[in-house]
Structure 1
Amino acid sequence: MKVRDVMMKGNFTLKENNTFYEASQLFSNDEVEVIPVLDEKEILVGLITKNDIIKNFIKGTSPNIYIKNLSLDKKNIINDDSKIQDYIDAKESYMGVKNAEGKFVGIFSVNNMLKQGFANGSQKINELKKKINCNNECNENNLNCTELDAVIESSFDGIYITDGKANTLKINKSYETITGLQRKSMINRNMYDLEKEGYISKSATLMVLKNRKSNTIEQEFSTGKKVLVSSNPVFDDKGNISMVVTNVRDITELYELQDQLAKNMKLTEKYYSEIEAMRIQYLNLSDMIAQDKSMLDLLDVAKRVANVDTTVLILGETGVGKEEFAKFIYKNSMRKDKNFIKINCGAIPQNLIESELFGYVKGAFTGANKEGKMGLFEVADGGTVFLDEIGELPLDIQVKLLNVLQEGEVERVGAVKPIKINVRVLAATNRDLEGMTKEKLFRADLYYRLNVVPLTVPPLRERRGDIVPLIQYFLSQLNHKYNFEKSFTIEALNTLYNYSWPGNVRELKNIVERVIVMSSSDEIFQSDLPIQNSLTNIDKNGGCEDISNLKDAVGKVEAKLISQAFDNAGNVRDAAKILGIDASTFVRKRKKYSGKDML
């Protein structure tokens, strides 16, 4: 008999590029024990089981990691034309079955075969039937044949034989070992009496004698052992049942494994529930990726301040995700159904910033709208205003912003009467505002009014637990967007993990997109990464050997970097990306240094 004759059809399959989270969802079905993993050509490349899911949950595997990056079972894959007896004694409960082309065709389950007739046990039973019916030396009610005794006694499964009236004729040694019962106390006794006295919970033999057909049941003994028994009738020439041959296999260990699996599943559900609760609680935005403990702790603080209208100052290097934190606070606040207005203080020309933020009345200045204009703070009334790059705000505008924070009112350009508004202000900067107050570049009263609850977002190099999840997230987005199936090699991931990321998440996203678009194969290797060519170093001297003033030295280095970035990129947008700053900031700084010798 071939494997294809008894294999089960698999209801579920996974592709290599399915995520660990998607695989976990499939295993939430209690009937699923193993799922085959296929490549893009439907070739069977491995198996994943419930135990694999449990182990990876406990290990803390990212939900976003691809299945192909897990340790798949590639050993237990067999051919559909293999013989069953080659795998009967295998320790593995499930094996994947492939055809001659390597494609998945089904699941081979030893336990399932046992329930259907114990495979090799059924074969031995059939051999016994033939021997009993054709061997003239064996009396119908007296099994003394040496050859037949040897077959029965050597069987790995327990064998129990009765006559057509349920009297016990033969019990082998394996039956004693499996059940814990002594055959000397059961030989020549009737199954009705043994069942009545509690030796067995119920008798498959009696069911066969009643229904005249094979029967398989679970049986429990007075010793506490649990077994699976399959009883088969042997008919004489007149169609009467002359014997019932029962094959017995111990499933006590199976029950113990099921209990352990149930406990593990409960533990898995607990871990999953905790992770899901944290994701729902902290990560209400699909693009907020955080697994590093420092980020989760910061999100915990952000979640708490989101529920009140306190002003929040978000600090951190450029590209760390300050805007995403602002959105996170907004999404978790009581104002989430109102407007969220982002204002980039560094991108609005200085001659327009007052009218853009606070609006103007009609006739306020030449070229003004005849009807006047509502400012962004008025537009956000009832909602949230996010002031990005707050450190770039001119001093005269800072005065009016302070009035918004303290009095809750704005005054349009040219107006004589203020307008009451109700907004929550979130601000962000990568600059040292406290230091700027000492240099009179930022108003101290505004700084202390903004700095009610400061949140400092750590740079990517200080939260490396987020690097790989962010890579996988950006990779998944881009694969979906461009219909790619690209992936990073382990060496490439290690290189990305160990990089210092001076441009933080913004730089990471740009590099991932660049290599995905530029790589010629579906696999991205270490050599494909442009990190070694990134603009992270400056000349040893930096052109500062003749400068004694720190401010001038910093200005010269900044001018040199701006010039190099523009020469390398050829345009403002890409040059700004290299330096990890906004295009508007790049333009302003380039203009600042364009008339000086240092550029």
Structure 2
Amino acid sequence: MSVIRWLVKTTDRIGMIQDVVQVFSCEGVSISSMEVSPGQIFIKFYVNAASRLEEILKRELLAHTDIIDIMDIALQPYEQREKELQAVLESANEGIIGLDNEGTIRYINSAAASLLYVEQGKAVGQQIKQLTGADTQLLELLTGHSFDNQQMLTDTPRGILHYLCSGRPIRNENNQIIGAVATLKSMKAAQRLVHSMIKSQTFGFSDIIRASTAMEHVIGIAQRVAISDCTVLVRGESGTGKELFARAIHEASTRNSQPFIPINCAALPENLLESELFGYEEGAFSGAKKGGKIGLFEAAHRGTLFLDEIGELSLVLQGKLLRAIQEGVIRRVGSNSQIPIDVRIIAATNRNLEEMVEAKQFRQDLYYRINVIPITIPPLRERPEDVPLLLKYFHTKYCIELNKNLEFSQAAYSLLTCYEWPGNVRELQNVVLRAIHLTFDGDIDISNLLITGEKNLEQGNKLVRNENNLKKTIDHTEKAILEKALQKYGSARGAAREVGLSHTAVLNKIRRYKLEYLLSPASRKEGSLKKGSNPK
């Protein structure tokens, strides 16, 4: 049997479908499928390849005055849509499963079948709970619930699968649930995706803006230790860029193809910080996610874990951290099982850990574990030669981002380069961004910087006075030169040639300094001095 697909073009009138179907019926040919739109009838049918039925059907149909033409087509419109949808679903990196309202699998793409270790063809028609377990959250979709990125665990022929799942119920026009669709992504694939996004924004030593020998010396030390797996302690005041140094060390290490995971130890309460670092098992505490959650140590496996503000850890957590570093294993909250980890530790602090050890606020054994390679970043006030470079970088960056064309006044620039920057690079960055936001046109002056402090205000006022005094001196000199030229020539044109300015510029300055009385009567009648001119 041969499959035939036709597009029958007709006039748009009632009864056309019946006329076409009658021709097929009279010849004993069954129509496999039919789609209809105004003026078009798409037909799919089968005929014996050796018969002349196709020719006969076409001749009889074209005998109707309302049938305009018959064209062979490759696919029916619904078949074309299905092929396109199939191609989209199969090209997706995520697993996709479609369910009917009874939880039966109506569709599963090859990615989902591979993820769950099932045969794609055999999975269709099975109940979803046969693949993902009787307590699967996917069945909640059929009750009207939606969810995003839920962590799930499923037993497979190759062990327990840990994956992320998102799902939506499907409703008809009467708001009845007729099925659901879910997407699945393995946790490992999700972690690789996150890492690839982080990797595209890598930060290396060459990205550290500096001109000072002090910073070059520190960077030289960091570059030498980066290639080892030694624990590094980055020290420095708040805002000096400790995390940037940690990222640069990771990027220069042999672990740079693996994750760099940062956490601020001061940002979370103790109980939450423990579960973030070490993860937790399902049911470990009220509100714990179903299936549990991996911790940052596991997420950073074979990569780098950056512990910022490590001096803020409680003594209890210090002990657990010490055990993880010494033994290379962690234990999730609520679990007795040990999980081996391979993680390089980079810690950072702006506190005096030696004083904390003396005061019994920081464990001495942990101090020696993390202080293998100490790197101290000098504050910005000790490397003033870096300030102009940083000012230029942030000024250019934020002018582009905010679509502004601004420059610093001489007084503002002088204050910024003389300022001691107690908040270091972070404060400088914020001051520049704030000033560009607050300035709408002209130059960025001292009032837009909003730098507080009696010493800084006095310095700023002094710079403003100096700038004003300089301006007055320039104006006084300019007026004297112009007076002398006008006394000599008696005309704006003659004075312009004398001082090397344009005629218009001299006319404007004559009005500005009120020197019209030095012009000859003829020159005073020049049209350029009419009311309404706008001297600068």
With structure 1 as the length reference, what TM-score do the two structures score? 0.41
With structure 2 as the length reference, what TM-score do the two structures score? 0.46
